[in-house]
Structures are given as C-alpha cells and as structure tokens.
Structure 1
Amino acid sequence: MPKVVKQRSSNVADAVTTSKASKSRLNCWIKRLRQPLLLAAAGAFSVLGFAPWSWWPTALLSMAVLAFCLHDSTPKQAFRQGYAFGLGLFAVGIAWVHISIDQFGGLPLPVSLTLMLLLAAYLSLYPALACWLSRKFPCGNPYLQILLFAACWVLGEFARGYLLTGFPWLALGYSQLDGLLSAWFPLSGVAGVSLVTTIVAGALALTVAQRQWPAAALALCTLGGSFSLSFIQFISPNGDPVDVALVQGNIEQSLRWQPDQEWPTMLKYLDLTRPHYEADLIIWPEAAVPAVEPMAQEYLDNLNYVATHNDTTVVSGIVDYNFDTRQFYNTLIVLGKQQKPLYEYRYHSANRYQKHHLLPIGEFVPFGELLRPIAPLFNLPMSSFSRGDYTQANLVANGYTIAPAICYEIAFPEQLRRSVNEQTDFLLTVSNDAWFGDSIGPQQHMEIARARAKELGRPLLRATNTGVTAAVDAYGEEIARLPMFSADVLRLPIQRMTGVTPFSQLGHWPVWLVIMLTFALVALVQLKDRKAAD
C-alpha cells in the first residue's frame, strides 16, 4: 500500500508540474502575443481616420501607439511591430477588395478571402521595413529619432506607391484631410502630411515614454501652427462660375459589358442628359459608352451634333480599340464644343486622354498567358488595356481646360500634378466603383480625389457609374454629391480658380529633401559617436 500511495503521489506531483509548465508556456505565449495584438488593433483602429468616418485623431493616436512600442526596440522587434500594425491596417482598411474577387472573380469564398489576406500581408511589409529601418540606425537624440521614424515611414509609403505598379491606398496623410494638419496638403502634398503626422505622433509617444514635456509642446505647436497655415491663400477666384452637369447612370456591373445591353445603356445616358443640355460642361463616367469607339461612330456623331448645336460639351469615357495595332485604351473623349475657333469631334483627334496607370488584374494581367487559364479572376472583361503616355495635354472642352485622371490614377498625385498648369480650370476624374458594392472602398476613393483638389488648388469634378459622383472645390471641400446607386444628374455651378500652390510647382521634392537631410544628420551623429568611442 505505501508503494501504491507513493506512486500515486508521484503521478499527482508530475501532473501538477506538467500543468504548471503548460500554464507557464501559455503565459509566455500570451506575453509574446500581447504587443503584436495591441499593434494590430491599433492599425485596425487607425482605419477610422479615413473615409467614411474621417475621425482624424484616431489615426494620429494609433501612430503614437506604434511609436511608443518602437521605443528601445531592436531592428528585429521593430520589424515585427510594424508588420503587426500594417496587418491590422490593411486587413480592415482594404477588406472591400474581397467584394470584387468574390462576386466577379469566379473564385470560391475561401480562395477569395485568402487572396485578400495575402494582399494585406504583402502591403504590411512596407510599414514593417519602415519600422526596421528607423531602429537600424538609432541615435542618441530622441528628437532626431522622431524625425528618423517619420522619414522612414514616408519612405515606406513612397515605395508602396511605386513598386509593382504601386498601391498608395491608405497613406497616412489622407486621414488628416479634415483635421488640423490638412493645411500641409497645398504645401507638400499627401506625403508631407504623412511626415508631419508621424512627427506629431512620435512627439506624443516620447512624452509618454520618457516624460519629455518639450515633446508635448512640440506636438501642440505643430498642430496649432498647422492650423494657422490654413489662413495662407495661394489661389483666388477666376471669372464666373461654370454650369456643370455630372451624370451617374447606375448600370449594374454584371450588365456593363453584355452585348445586348449596349444600346439600353447608351440610350439611358442620353435620356439622363437631355434635360441638361444648357449646362456648359456635361461629364459622363468611365466607359459610359460600352461600345468600342470605332464601332460607335454613328452614336457619337449624333451626340456630337446635339451637343454642338446646344452650345455645350460632353466629356465621356469610352474604350478605344486600334484595329491596326490591336490595342485597347481606356479613353476620355470630348464631344460638342471644344475650343474657339470651333471644331468638332473626330475619331483619333488629339483632344482625348488615354489612361496610363492601369489597375493590375482589372485592366492588365501580368504574366497573362500563365494566369488567364487558371480562373475567371484573370480573365475579366476589358482586362487587356495598353497604357497611354505618362504626361498628356489637358482636354479642351467648351473653351475650358481639364486635367483628367481615370479611376485608380487619382491616387497618384505626381502623375496628375504633371498635367496641371496655370491655365488648368478643372481636375476631372471618372470612375466605376461598382466592383466594390456598398463598401467603404468608394468612400476612400472619393477622399483621395478630394486630396488632389486641395493639393493642386483646382476644383475637381468626379463622375462615376454608381457613386460617389460629386464636386469638390479648390480647397478640398465637397460641394455636393449624388446618392450612391441612383440614376441621376448632379448639376451645379463650379467656381474656377487662378494661382498655383507650392505642391503644384515643387511636388514632393521638399519631402524628399527632409528625408535626405534626416539620414545625413543621423549619419553625422553616428560618425561623431564612433570617433568619440575611439
């Protein structure tokens, strides 16, 4: 009996020891996961700073949480921290991408969700590398460290906007469009706003981490000074307001490229436009005319005739197909009055715009010969476009000059900036966000368009198939919009402006200069420290 009791006691002791060890390992894993989960939650929380919520302090505070966690981190730890933050940001912020993959890509739900998560995982590499770089070159001065973190973050956003055709969505600066830091848009563009926002977030984090009260003063002075900048005006009204009509056809995405729906769609746009021929400018959305341009000449000639004799202009999206080169182009054409002396629309006339920055998968398929047979996702209608030139002349419509961008292109500020000059009257973007349903995607797209107006100091006209169709003034404020998923026309007077903003002249060069000077200062500090150590 004693041996049995002893054996049982030993088993109980072993079980207790095993339980304690398991509990210890569990606690260890909880501790390891606590910070990544916190940062992922902070990244997800920052999405509230973007449209449709636009609660600008949430993005600022989320960045402050990231900056606080980076304090005293090793480069390896910083990489993991930045990746966790990015995963929360993109998994929530671009979840709407799943709608187009699921509904129009022809893939099973698990596969479409996996693809969306893989995209978020890829995009998270950029904030991860930015955080890694900011801790790879630590310096003794905490304020220089803040500047280094901001420079690295913006460098990561630049890289994300250019590599693999670029995906600049959810750049931090957009979250401040309705906040105290928005005055930096006409000065330094969205990248400059990202830079200043990260500096403020870093100063707040330093205040909490090291009780550096001068850092709190730096944050408050930056916010207050940025608000004061809003009183500086670079532009002024020019002439009388222009009567503009923006047409929203609300054609279901599943019907847009059906051959038997070509004429019903084209007739619908004519019916919507007919009561508004007295407007100076009439704007139709991207590919509003579903027939390819060479095959729609009779329809276009009639529309051109009606617009000309009503003393107005119709700017419309259409697909052009060159039979000689066998190339498709996503195109904007001008019908009716164009400029004085008056001349009319002709096929292949120079007064047109061909989209340059194409959307991967949607408008061109990398390695198409390999991918197209795999799934319908890689063989969507109109997914074989060719690129137009990077810089193209402004459209001329009824004597007004228009700098255009088609759909996704509006997210690339430098490209649009190259097309804007002192004579530009309007910015124009046409789109079709029906791919993304009733999600936050179209709202984010609209927010990006507003930022271009504020950066370049020109009113922006936005015509879309299902919404958001809206007009924005030269200060980035939305004037009016149509309800989404409605067939309607938004008609209103738009005030033209004269003058140029610093961003329209210099672009992002001031931001690049700050980044280069920051790295130069860090290198000098580290060189000085090495010499002192020797």
Structure 2
Amino acid sequence: MTELNGRTFNRFTIKQPVYALLFSFLTGTSLVFAFAPFSLWPITFIAVIFWLSQLTDKSPKQAFKLGLSFGFGYFAAGISWVHVSIEQFGGMPLIASIFLMLLLCSYLALYPALAAWLCAKLTKNKSANLYFLPFAWLVSEYLRSVMLTGFPWLSLGYSQIDSPLSALAPIIGEVGISFTIILMCVVTVQLINRCHKTVNLIIIAITVVITSSSPLLNVVDKTGETKSVALVQGNIKQELRWDKEAETNIINGYIEASKPLYSNNDLVIWPEAAIPRIEPLAQNYLTELNIQAGSVQSSLITGLINYDPDTRKFFNRLVVLGKKNQDNFDGSYYYGNNNHYNKHHLLPIGEFVPFADLLRPIAPFFNLPMSSFSRGDYVQPNLVANGINLAPLICFEIAFPQQLAANIRPHTDMILTVSNDAWFGASHGPDQHLEIARMRALEFGKPMLRATNNGLTAVIDHQGKIIADIPQFSKAVLQTTVELVNGETHYSAWGRYLDKLLMLLFLMYLVREKFIK
C-alpha cells in the first residue's frame, strides 16, 4: 500500500470484483496442497498472502464476499472426501452426494467470511484494517469448533506439523499456530504495501525469536521406560462391517491375528467397533479374549458397541480386556465394570441424526448403521491396561484439543485414538485425520497409539513424529516399542487458554474504542 495525496491504495488489488472473487476462490483451493497427504506447508503462507492482497481496504460487504469465496475454495478442495461416505455408503446418488458436500462447504465458508467481515467492519483506520484479522480469525475459528457440535477440520495450524512453526505447538497449540500464520501473512502484505514498516519488522523479529527458542522451553523428558505395543488393522470393507453373515469371520479374524501377539507385547489394540456385536451379546468372545490376554500378562483394548438395557441407550465404547494393573492377572474384565470409555463427541449424521423424525424418512443417508448413539461423559477416567494409563478418544474426537485436555491426567502415559476411516475410501481424508493426531501428540507431549480399521494405523511419539505405521488398505499388525515420558507441556498447562485470552483482549479493545473517548 502506498500513499498519494493522503489516499491509500493497494497496487496488487484486482479491480474487477468478479476476478477478485475468482482469485480468492483459487487461493483457497490451493490450500489443499498444504495439508496431508501433500504436506507442502509453505503453500499456506502463499495462499493466505495472495488472498489478503485482495482484502486490503475493502468494505465489510466486499470483504465478506471475498472471505466467502476464499472459504468455499478452501473447504471444497479440502474436504471433498465427504461425498465418498455419502454416495458409496449412504445410498445417495452421486449428484445428491456432491450437492450435500457443497452445502457443507458453503456453511464452513461462512467462518472465513465472518473473519473478513469483522476485520473490515471494526476498523477505523483503513490502512491498518488487516491487523484485526488474526483476532477476528480466532473468533471465527472458535465458533467453527463449537457451532452445531463443531467441525474444526483443516484449521490452518495443522498444515505446519512439519514446518519450523511446529515448535510452537507445545506452547500455544495448533490454534496459536493458526493465529501466528495469519499475523505473519498480514505483516508480509503490509510490508509489500510499504505500510507500518517498523512495526511489521518488530513483529517478525519477535516471532522468529520465540519460534527459534521454543525448543529450549521443552519440559517433557523421556523416562527411560518403554512399553511394547501391537496394533491390529483388520481392513474390513465398510459394506461388511455390520453384515450379520460376516460377523463371525470378522471377529475370528481379529482373534487369530492377535493370539501370537499377547506373549510379546504389553498391550494389543483393536480399532473402533472391531467387534461388530453389542457388548451384552459378545460376552462369550470377550471372556475368551480376557483370558487369552491376561493369562500371559498382557492386555487388549477393543472397540465395540454397548447397549444399556436399563436406559435403552447405545454407546460407541472402548473396553479393556486381560490384565489391568501391573500385578498378576486377576480376571479384571466383567460386564458392567468401569474400565471403559464411551465416546462423547458424536459425529452428526454418522452417529446421531439431529431432527431425526424429520430427516430419517427422507433418504437412506440418514439411516446409516449405528447412527443412534448416546453421548458419554465429557470427562471420564483414563483407561488402565497392564498398568498403562491411556487418555482415549474415538475417531472425530481427536480434532477437539479441549476435550483431550480435560481428560489428560498427571499419570497419563499415552493418548489412544481408534477410528474407522473406511468411510472415506481412497481419499485424502484419512491422511488429514492422521495429521490432526500428530498435532495432538505434539501439543500435549504424549506418545499416541492410533488404531484404525483400514489405515492409517500408526504409533506417534511425543514430538508428533511417526514411529511406525501400516499402509492403508492392508490387513496387517504393527508391533513397536513406545518410550514413555514425564512432564507437562506449556500448552497443556496454560497455552490452551491463550486463544480465549487473546479474544478477550480484542473484545476489551473494541469496547474501549466504542465507549471510551
């Protein structure tokens, strides 16, 4: 931006509104390459900077349109995999599944549009309006994570899991990294426009110093203790998951794959709903597995569905079989024991249907198998398996760091997440899911076990690095050794409140500007 006779203008702004909207859409679309499986993290900065070059000095209405166009491209390319589950497994025609996917993308695009609108609406000094954007972005992303149960997928910070900015994750988390990305892009645009040069250079210098010195603030250390683990990837086709005729073969397949694992591993993990039978009706299998694992001083954690006959509620559950504590096996599992976890954050449509009486008659998509679950408690005890304390999450829950923070304890040894990503076929959805899991491990400084039905099964260390994994669409077993750690990251202790603090300070500033002369 340069000044001429008291006027300011951006030399890089596209004058024709239609072309500016198209340009914003394309920059948003390019963001898909910043995330897994492509993981070209510099694209995040390039795309956002080019988008911001069109946002400078726009009216609130113009800014909203540019944000909407950017957001639609961002999500249409990034979560295009949603239509796979709708079309292939929801019984909807291809055109209907694409329509529903685009409808979801249009909804999600409202949040970048809101950030852009707030940025333009709240400013008084047009030459400085972009400096509001990092704070407005925090507000919009917070809303995206809570509205309609929340869908915080593809938040910008995840794209930096392998970039230098990842060093900030144990301090300010993924949300803080997203804030930093927007701030750095704003500063870059302002420097290009020759605006507030000194302030921008100071901001860059501070960010570089904090990022480069972040490893020195590490408070998580290895204990020297290790645990041997085995994760079983059954690779069951989605159309067979709840097929009554395939049920016995599925369960027996997991049993046979696991028999040689117990004697060599402290812990064996099966994925989400690996046993396709409700818990009360699976007692013969569970009793057998409990004895198999416990008799050789090992443990098994498996996903299954529980039905509570008293409340008539279904739960997506994890249960521990075999040895619970480090003492000798005491026959620990029994139906109704409290060493289990019930999924809290349910996936809309997939696990519960809002307005069910209205929507279920419309299409098969709203009658997917196991789409009537009840929520478990927000805070639940860690699972204890062979003396190992695990903070569990099922599938979609890994995208919600606040829920994980509420369930990690000082004694937590590992994070456990199980999933069934067969819903998303050969798309980039499972890769993005694994990327999110890596960020959680880095934020909280805990090793993570991730068991999935058909990939990507992986073990992640406390620095967010993949120790070992299994290729997608393969029936295999992952066996490895996990190093335990102690200590609490700054993010876990206080950093997860930083975004709330920044939003509060932003609100206080706006109140001061509005009411205090």
Q: TM-score range by the shorter chain?
A: over 0.9
| Cα 1:502–1:147 shift into 2, 3 Å | farther
SS at match of 2:260: helix
> Residues 247 and 282 of structure 1 are in contact (CA less than 8 Å); yes or no, is this contact kept in structure 2?
yes
**Cα drift, residue 223 of structure 1:** 3.8
Partner of residue 10, structure 1: none
> Residues 139 and 526 of structure 1 are in contact (CA less than 8 Å); yes or no, is this contact kept in structure 2?
no
From 221, 242, 259, the counterpart of 1:274 = 259
What pairs with 1:62-211 in structure 2 (closer than 5 Å)? 62-140=47-125, 145-210=129-194
Structure-2 separation of matches of 1:98 and 1:414: 28
Structure 1 gaps, min length 5: 1-28
Q: Which structure features the higher share of helix residues?
A: 1
Q: TM-score, normalised by structure 2?
A: 0.94
Structure-1 separation of matches of 2:387 and 2:241: 32
From 227, 234, 243, the counterpart of 2:228 = 243
**Cα drift, residue 185 of structure 1:** 1.1
Structure-1 separation of matches of 2:99 and 2:247: 35
AA in 2 matched with 1:503:
Y
**Cα drift, residue 239 of structure 1:** 3.7
> Residues 68 and 209 of structure 1 are in contact (CA less than 8 Å); yes or no, is this contact kept in structure 2?
no
**Cα drift, residue 517 of structure 1:** 1.5
> Residues 245 and 492 of structure 1 are in contact (CA less than 8 Å); yes or no, is this contact kept in structure 2?
yes
Structure-2 separation of matches of 1:95 and 1:191: 23
Structure-1 separation of matches of 2:83 and 2:41: 26
Partner of residue 443, structure 1: 431
Partner of residue 315, structure 1: 301
| Cα 1:142–1:221 shift into 2, 3 Å | farther
SS at match of 2:348: coil
**Cα drift, residue 240 of structure 1:** 1.7
Structure-2 separation of matches of 1:526 and 1:227: 38
Partner of residue 218, structure 1: 203
Structure-2 separation of matches of 1:358 and 1:441: 18
Structure-1 separation of matches of 2:271 and 2:495: 28
> Residues 332 and 353 of structure 1 are in contact (CA less than 8 Å); yes or no, is this contact kept in structure 2?
yes
> Residues 447 and 482 of structure 2 are in contact (CA less than 8 Å); yes or no, is this contact kept in structure 1?
yes
From 414, 424, 432, the counterpart of 2:412 = 424
What pairs with 1:315-394 in structure 2 (closer than 5 Å)? 315-341=301-327, 342-343=329-330, 344-394=332-382
SS at match of 1:127: helix
AA in 2 matched with 1:300:
L
Aligned length: 500
**Cα drift, residue 518 of structure 1:** 2.7
Matched, 1:299 2:285: yes
| Cα 1:146–1:229 shift into 2, 3 Å | farther
**Cα drift, residue 53 of structure 1:** 1.4
**Cα drift, residue 140 of structure 1:** 3.3
Partner of residue 511, structure 1: 499
**Cα drift, residue 509 of structure 1:** 1.4
Structure-2 separation of matches of 1:166 and 1:419: 19
AA in 2 matched with 1:304:
N
| Cα 1:478–1:228 shift into 2, 3 Å | same
Deviations 1:416-439 (A, max 9, x none): 111112210000000000000011
Structure-1 separation of matches of 2:88 and 2:295: 43
Matched, 1:53 2:38: yes
Partner of residue 9, structure 1: none
**Cα drift, residue 102 of structure 1:** 0.7
Most deviating of 155-164 and 202-211: 202-211
SS at match of 1:360: coil
Deviations 1:491-520 (A, max 9, x none): 000001100011112253122112221333
Structure-2 separation of matches of 1:141 and 1:420: 45
Structure-1 separation of matches of 2:116 and 2:292: 58
SS at match of 1:218: helix
Structure-2 separation of matches of 1:523 and 1:177: 36
SS at match of 1:428: strand
Q: TM-score, normalised by structure 1?
A: 0.91
> Residues 233 and 455 of structure 2 are in contact (CA less than 8 Å); yes or no, is this contact kept in structure 1?
yes
Using the aligned pairs only, state the percent identity.
46
Structure-2 separation of matches of 1:147 and 1:334: 50
SS at match of 2:334: coil
Partner of residue 481, structure 1: 469
From 437, 447, 469, the counterpart of 1:459 = 447
Structure 2 gaps, min length 5: 1-13
Most deviating of 189-198 and 249-258: 189-198
> Residues 414 and 507 of structure 1 are in contact (CA less than 8 Å); yes or no, is this contact kept in structure 2?
no
AA in 2 matched with 1:373:
P
**Cα drift, residue 224 of structure 1:** 5.2
Partner of residue 6, structure 1: none
SS at match of 2:474: coil
SS at match of 2:16: helix
Larger Rg: 1
AA in 1 matched with 2:143:
A
Structure-1 separation of matches of 2:170 and 2:28: 27
**Cα drift, residue 231 of structure 1:** 3.5
Structure-1 separation of matches of 2:255 and 2:307: 23
**Cα drift, residue 30 of structure 1:** 9.6
Structure-2 separation of matches of 1:403 and 1:230: 25
Structure-1 separation of matches of 2:428 and 2:470: 16
> Residues 56 and 130 of structure 2 are in contact (CA less than 8 Å); yes or no, is this contact kept in structure 1?
no
